[in-house]
């Protein structure tokens, strides 16, 4: 774990931006879960059945974990790829709502930029 304040400003901004997009939804979902459940793919909802709110909060824990890893981690290739793929999946599974979620594409590309910056070195 490293303090984010020791990072170069551009990387700090990138990390904070991506992490914020994963920190806001799980906390917002505590008060208004159905505004967020709606973004899950239908087959997820069918699988979860009556436990859909529980599934949402479980996913929220994953989101917080990714955010904190990106914010405080030293090697953040894995969480950055996870973040980018998750955001792209949200966009693809909710394409009819593209007017609302188009920003996720930008955040996903920022996450991929972080991943590229921290890609494992081959010797």
Partner 1 sequence: MKYLIILIALIALGTIAYFALGGPAAEPVLAPTQEEEEQLPVAEPQTLSSGTTVTYSDQGFSPSQVTVSVGDTVRFVNQSSREMWVGVDEHPTHTKYDGTSKNDHCPGTTAFDQCARSGPGTSWEYTFTKTGTFGYHNHAGAADVGVIVVQ
Nearest Cα to 113, choosing from 74, 80, 90, 68? 80
Name the residue nearer to partner 1 (CB basis): 55 or 68: 55
Q: CB of 13: closest distance to partner 1 in angstroms?
A: 20
Side-chain half-sphere exposure of 57, counting CA atoms within 13 A: 7
Structure tokens at 91: 């966009």
Q: CB of 59: closest distance to partner 1 in angstroms?
A: 15
Q: CB of 33: closest distance to partner 1 in angstroms?
A: 10
Footprint on this chain of partner 1 (rule: CB under 8 A): 32, 34-42, 45-46, 49, 52, 88, 91-100, 102, 105, 109, 112, 116
Torsion region of 81: left, alpha or beta (phi above 0 gives left; psi -120 to 50 gives alpha): alpha
């Amino acid at each position: 774990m490293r303090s984010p304040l020791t990072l170069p400003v551009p990387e700090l901004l990138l990390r904070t931006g991506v992490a914020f997009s994963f920190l806001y939804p799980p906390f917002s979902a505590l008060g208004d879960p159905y505004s967020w459940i709606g973004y899950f793919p239908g087959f997820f909802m069918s699988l979860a059945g009556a436990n859909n709110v529980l599934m949402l909060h479980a996913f929220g824990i994953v989101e917080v974990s990714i955010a904190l890893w990106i914010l405080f981690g030293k090697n953040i290739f894995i969480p950055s790829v996870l973040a980018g793929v998750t955001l792209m999946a949200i966009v693809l599974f909710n394409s009819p709502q593209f007017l609302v979620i188009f920003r996720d594409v930008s955040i996903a590309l920022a996450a991929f930029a972080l991943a590229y910056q921290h890609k494992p070195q081959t010797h």
